[in-house]
Amino acid sequence: MYIAVCSSSDGYWVGKPSLRSWRQLALEQLEEDEEESKHSNGQTNGQGPHINNKFGMEANVGTEDETKTFNEDIVCTHGALSILETERKLVSTEVWTKLREYFPRAPEFTHMQEPCRQCLTLEQEEKDNEAVSKMMALEQKNQLLNLFHEKNRPVLTKWPQVKRRAVDCEAFNFQFF
């Protein structure tokens, strides 16, 4: 299947990594569906599939994290469309219909879908915090330079002036060990 990227404003958002690996994901989805149909046909009285080896359950747990759903790469942590525009492409409705046949449970985002509001708010807060930090760092740098060059220092006129006088060291009779 040739995947055409949509140049007009209609279509669906698809993650670039999903688009690159759609064949592999489709094969994995097909194998997964076959496994589910085997297990559902072989079960009776609500019993699960029989596992002969003692590591069967542990092996299934490890692969669960590795399996990836098509188009989940553009889903943010809040379950909405990711704000990363560079990680997605707009494909035509025809292409999306074909992909939907392979991946019926894939998240669907039309071209009208707005990116996640929560993620946009968090991103703006991060930018604001970064700007404040940069301004504070610049101010501290300027204050340090002023201190170093003895500029804009407070005048200590209220402090008592200490008169220094020469001290006769022999009068104190220091003993060194």
pLDDT digit string, tens, across residues 125-152: 999 999 999 999 999 988 888 777 777 7
Residue 171 belongs to a domain = no
Pinpoint the alpha helices (H) of the chain.
16-20, 22-42, 56-64, 93-102, 117-148, 169-172
**In terms of domains, do 121 and 63 share one?**
no
**In terms of domains, do 104 and 29 share one?**
yes
pLDDT of residue 171: 57
Distance CA(78)–CA(76), nearest Å, equals 5
Q: Which domain holds residue 55?
A: 12-113
- Phi/psi at 75 (nearest 5 deg)? -100, 125
**In terms of domains, do 23 and 76 share one?**
yes
Residue 174 belongs to a domain = no
Residue 172 belongs to a domain = no
- Phi/psi at 18 (nearest 5 deg)? -65, -40
**In terms of domains, do 105 and 120 share one?**
no
pLDDT beneath 50, residues of the chain: 44, 48-67
**In terms of domains, do 27 and 106 share one?**
yes
pTM higher than 0.85 for the full model? no
